[in-house]
């Protein structure tokens, strides 16, 4: 790891948004670094033990999200179980309500993510904590301050993508950010003997084998979700204390779940127990940038002239959102910065749409391409020719407006 290296594009956060951004920037010919504080790629989707790749379709048989988002859904099951409904396998757009989504093993997905990034030539920095930024006198980002086993140093670049999930870069660079609240929940991998699945939509069945290749007799890995609707006041600001409390209280929920299960005879400590806990805080939303535009509640089925792609509503069939390019860069700088995934600008119910895996992949790819194109054009991402960006996205297989997917505006 070389603090003297100069990158074209520096991506902060190796979650799904950061992976997609780094992949696209590297494929666009840019020297790209991906900085990740853990030793695993995939972020919440993998390290956080989320295991459902939400739909790339509208729920009525129309695929609306394309590109790296589709590549990643296939990679999520390359080294593990899980299936994409048959009718979608060949890119067919049948009148079928079974959604284009899949359940994957987080560990299997991580193995595939390493491979695809290495193939693309992305310089991956694992175990590297971002803890500051450097800017020039004109309020343009010039570097990301990190700490890892090599010590403390600065990773210099010309364009930066904040895919940290909570605007680590944008906030440290002084950009205005928006916050939202969470409810307490925990998803964990659980051993449950003889279980077929958990509850509908939440269960995951992962087969396994012994070291000698014999199938395991019965064990299954299942994911358990506990919920507590209480507000955590994250919207008033995040802190080290709140993160710690969130995690400890989540684990308390899990302990209560097992204590109750043992008491009521649903299982015992040998056939029902926690196998793996999430290694990152499972906040749904913390901070996103205050973008040049902030996507709002109810703006589905609405045309945006600067749309860089579409996403469906994972909760119900029908609603489809066009995502404006302006949600990917901050309203008042700093220069050189783009945001992707959970960090892109959205409020209220719209954030429910932008915070999930397909949108993270889609906005990540768009941000990676915008970073590369803004370098070629010698302009800040905020001044990029959006039509040129949209043309490139179309060339990469994106559909940008509802009618292109056979859908109508409201």
Which one, 45 or 405, has the nearer CB to ligand FAD?
Answer: 45
Among 116, 126, 129, 274, interactor with ligand FAD by CB under 6 A: 129
Please list, residue by residue across 239-274, b when 16 or more beta carbons sit within 10 angstroms of its beta carbon and e when fewer do.
eeebbeebbeebeebbeebbeebeeeeebeeeebeb
- By CB under 6 A, residue 356 contacts ligand FAD: yes
164 contributes a contact to ligand FAD by CB under 6 A: yes
| Nearer residue to ligand FAD within complex by CB, 16 or 75 | 16
List, as own/partner pairs, every contact residues 380-386 make where C-beta atoms lie below 8 angstroms and the sequence separation is at least 24, other chains included: 380/140, 380/335, 380/336, 381/159, 381/328, 381/329, 381/336, 381/337, 381/338, 382/292, 382/329, 382/333, 382/335, 384/325, 386/306, 386/325
Instruction: List the one residue from 16, 68, 337, 400 that touches ligand FAD (CB under 6 A).
Output: 16
How distant, in Å, are the alpha carbons of 58, 108, 240, 321 from that of 400? Answer: 14, 31, 40, 10
* Distances in whole angstroms, Cα of residue 304 to Cα of each of 187, 326, 378: 36, 10, 25
Per-residue CA distances from 201 to 54, 222, 288 (Å): 11, 12, 28
Site membership for ligand FAD, residue 102 (CB under 6 A): no
CB 95 within 8 A of CB 58: no
Tell me whether residue 120 or residue 377 sits nearer to ligand FAD (CB atom). Answer: 120
87 binds ligand FAD (CB under 6 A): no
The single residue among 8, 58, 162, 168 that binds ligand FAD, judged by CB under 6 A, is 168
Choose between 179 and 377: whose C-beta lies nearer to ligand FAD.
Answer: 179
Residues 266-295 close enough to bind ligand FAD by CB under 6 A: 280, 282-284
Query: With respect to ligand FAD, which residue has the nearer C-beta, 251 or 401?
Result: 251
Query: Smallest distance from the beta carbon of 327 to ligand FAD, in angstroms?
Result: 13
Three-class secondary structure assignment of 10-64 = EEECCEHHHHHHHHHHHHCCCCEEEECCCCCCEHHHCCCCCCEECCCECCCCCEC
Count of residues touching ligand FAD (by CB under 6 A): 36
Binding flag, residue 357, ligand FAD (CB under 6 A): yes
The C-alpha atoms of residue 15 and residue 34 are separated, in whole angstroms, by: 10
Q: Which one among 80, 324, 341, 381 touches ligand FAD, defined by CB under 6 A? A: 341
DSSP conformation letters of 368-409: HHHHHHHHHHTS-GGGS-HHHHHHHHHHTT---SGGGGT---
Q: Single out the residue of 44, 69, 223, 311 in contact with ligand FAD (rule: CB under 6 A).
A: 44
Minimum Å gap between C-beta 184 and ligand FAD is: 10
Instruction: Using the minimum distance from each CB to ligand FAD, give the nearer residue, 138 or 348.
Output: 348
Phi/psi at 89 (5° precision): -60, -35
Interface pick for ligand FAD out of 33, 52, 110, 389 (rule CB under 6 A): 52
- The answer to whether 254 contacts ligand FAD (rule: CB under 6 A) is no
Select 14 or 319, whichever has its Cβ closest to ligand FAD. Answer: 14
**Site for ligand FAD, residues 169 to 208, rule: CB under 6 A:** 185, 187
Please tell me the total number of residues recorded for the chain in this structure: 410
Beta carbon nearer to ligand FAD, 33 or 393:
33
Q: Which is nearer to ligand FAD, 143 or 268 (CB)?
A: 143
Please give the residue ranges that form the binding site for ligand FAD (CB under 6 A): 12-18, 35-38, 43-45, 50, 52-54, 129-130, 163-165, 168, 185, 187, 280, 282-284, 341-342, 355-357, 360
């Amino acid at each position: 790891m070389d603090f003297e290296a100069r990158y074209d594009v520096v991506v902060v956060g190796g979650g799904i948004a950061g992976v997609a951004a780094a992949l696209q920037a590297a494929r666009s010919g840019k020297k790209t670094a991906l900085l990740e504080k853990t030793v695993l790629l995939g972020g919440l989707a993998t390290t956080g033990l989320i295991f459902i790749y939400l739909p790339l379709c509208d729920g009525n048989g129309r695929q609306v999200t394309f590109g790296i988002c589709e590549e990643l859904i296939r990679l999520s099951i390359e080294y593990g179980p899980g299936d994409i409904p048959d009718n979608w396998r060949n890119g067919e757009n049948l009148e079928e309500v079974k959604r284009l989504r899949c359940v994957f093993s987080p560990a299997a997905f991580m193995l595939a993510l390493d491979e695809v990034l290495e193939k693309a030539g992305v310089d991956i920095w694992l175990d590297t904590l971002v803890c500051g930024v450097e800017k020039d006198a004109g309020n343009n980002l010039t570097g990301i301050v990190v700490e890892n086993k090599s010590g403390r140093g600065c990773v210099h670049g010309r364009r930066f993508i904040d895919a940290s999930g909570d605007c680590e870069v944008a906030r440290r660079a002084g950009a205005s950010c928006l916050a939202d609240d969470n409810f307490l929940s925990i998803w964990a991998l659980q051993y449950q003997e003889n279980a077929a699945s958990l509850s509908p939509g939440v269960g995951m069945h992962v087969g396994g084998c012994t070291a000698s290749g014999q199938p395991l007799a019965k064990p299954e890995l299942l994911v358990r979700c506990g919920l507590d609707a209480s507000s955590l006041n994250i919207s008033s600001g995040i802190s080290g204390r709140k993160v710690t409390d969130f995690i400890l209280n989540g684990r308390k929920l899990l302990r209560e779940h097992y204590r109750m299960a043992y008491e009521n005879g649903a299982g015992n400590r040998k056939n029902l127990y926690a196998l793996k806990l999430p290694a990152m805080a499972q906040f749904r939303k913390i901070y996103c940038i205050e973008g040049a535009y902030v996507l709002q509640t109810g703006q589905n089925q609405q045309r945006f002239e600067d749309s860089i792609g579409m996403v469906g509503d994972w909760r119900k069939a029908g609603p489809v959102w066009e995502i404006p390019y302006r949600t990917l860069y901050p309203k008042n700088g700093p220069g050189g910065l783009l945001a992707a995934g959970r960090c892109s600008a959205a409020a209220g119910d719209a954030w429910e749409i932008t915070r999930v895996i397909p949108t993270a992949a889609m906005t990540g790819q768009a941000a990676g391409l915008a970073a590369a194109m803004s370098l070629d054009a010698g302009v800040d991402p905020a001044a990029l020719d959006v039509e040129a960006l949209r043309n490139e996205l179309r060339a990469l297989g994106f559909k940008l407006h509802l009618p292109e997917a056979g859908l109508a505006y409201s």
